Amino acid sequence: MKRLIEGRQTDCGNSQHMPTTRNNSRAHKLVRRDFLKRAGCLGTVLLLPTPMRVFSGNDNPLPRRVLGRTKAEVTILGLGTAPIGEARVDLKEATRIFGEVMDQGVNYIDTARIYGIAEEALGQLVPSRRDKLFLVTKVWVETAADAEKAFSESLRTLKVDHVDLVHIHHVGGKNLDRVLASDGVLSYLLKQRDAGKLRFIGMSGHASPSKFLRMLETKQIDVMMAVMNYADRNIYDFEGKVLPECRKQNVGVAAMKVYAGIKGGFPNHRKGWVGCNTPPERLPQALAYALDLEGVSTAVVGPFTYEQAMQNIGFARAYRPLTEAERADLLAYGRELATSLGPRYGPTT
């Protein structure tokens, strides 16, 4: 059962920047105009029907849930820092956006050393807010030696002496024999936990659910972050294959790619203007699908812009479980979408 710690629902919408394509066909324009009206937008900015409201302080706190056996209370929306960190955004602007998100109450902050300027920007913010945040970083390696280099650099860049959680990332692409060896990354992280440099150990990734299950067999994993959305449930199905074991072990769970990922996949990861695979009018339901999954405590969403960040916060504040009819409609759309997306992240087993 999910535990709701604080917060209440409210109607709150926002805008998402999306590309427009000019076409001289009058019929195309009429169809497009009709679509945009139904989506609540005209022009290059997609506006959902409810106008954006920005809350300050505790005017309308984000709901929180307990993150499994960590017992940490985290907001149901987490900040993913990869898109802004890797995009052509200057450090000052990245710092401003991340700071605004924190000011709106988001306390689950997900980053990594390879996310461009993300950790550097967070380093301007985190030290003065350390006790208010659940800070997450990642190592993308298999050996203790490589992990030491990456993790030490993260701590220096973030300007902290410890983080709350370190994920072994891209688990689906790892040689788990190396990861689990005596000189592997898991052994290293256990030692760092004992030394007080991290509190919890996690795993994250996009593919190969069976490898996640093998990692859970170690009983050393406290948190999992994986792709879970209304479309990829038909492709990777972390919901059906791995989530039940996480619940059994009380492993905390964060869902990612809740909007079914960016159009074109990883090659377009730095092109925020291409948009995501979920139509704008379905974004609130896509987020709700992930948060409705039993055992999921937070959905980590990475905005490309300030507007998208505030939109996501609005969705989280307005979150309510899907009705049976809404869920059935979304899942039917997801099955159709999945046929065009395919196994773009790697092996499905």
Residue partners of 323: CB distance under 8 A and separation at least 6: none
Residue whose entry in the numeric block shows the structure tokens 């009018």: 281
Cα–Cα distances in angstroms (integers) from residue 322 to residues 4, 23, 51, 249, in the given order: 16, 37, 21, 26
What pLDDT, on a 0 to 100 scale, did the predictor assign at position 89? 83
Express as a percent the part of the chain with pLDDT over 90.
78
What pLDDT, on a 0 to 100 scale, did the predictor assign at position 112? 98
User: Could you tell me what percentage of the chain is helix, strand and coil, using 3-state DSSP and rounding each to the nearest 5?
Assistant: 45, 20, 40
What is the C-alpha to C-alpha distance for residues 331 and 311, in angstroms, rounded to an integer? 23
Q: How far is CA 296 from the centre of its chain?
A: 12
Low-confidence ranges of the chain (pLDDT < 50): 1-58
pTM of structure: 0.85
What pLDDT, on a 0 to 100 scale, did the predictor assign at position 37? 36
Q: What residue spans define the domains of the chain?
A: 40-341
Instruction: Provide the 10 A C-beta neighbour count for residue 111.
Output: 27
Residue 65 tokens read as: 């849930």
Choosing among 3.20.20.100, 1.10.3720.10, 3.20.20.70, 3.10.310.40, the CATH entry for 40-341 is: 3.20.20.100
What is the C-alpha to C-alpha distance for residues 337 and 47, in angstroms, rounded to an integer? 23
Q: What are 157-196's pLDDT values in tens digits? A: 999 999 999 999 999 999 999 999 999 999 999 999 999 9
77, β-bridge pairs: 299
What pLDDT, on a 0 to 100 scale, did the predictor assign at position 272? 67
What is the C-alpha to C-alpha distance for residues 45 and 146, in angstroms, rounded to an integer? 43
- Amino acid occupying residue 202: G
Q: What are 301-340's pLDDT values in tens digits? A: 999 999 999 999 999 999 999 999 999 999 999 999 999 9
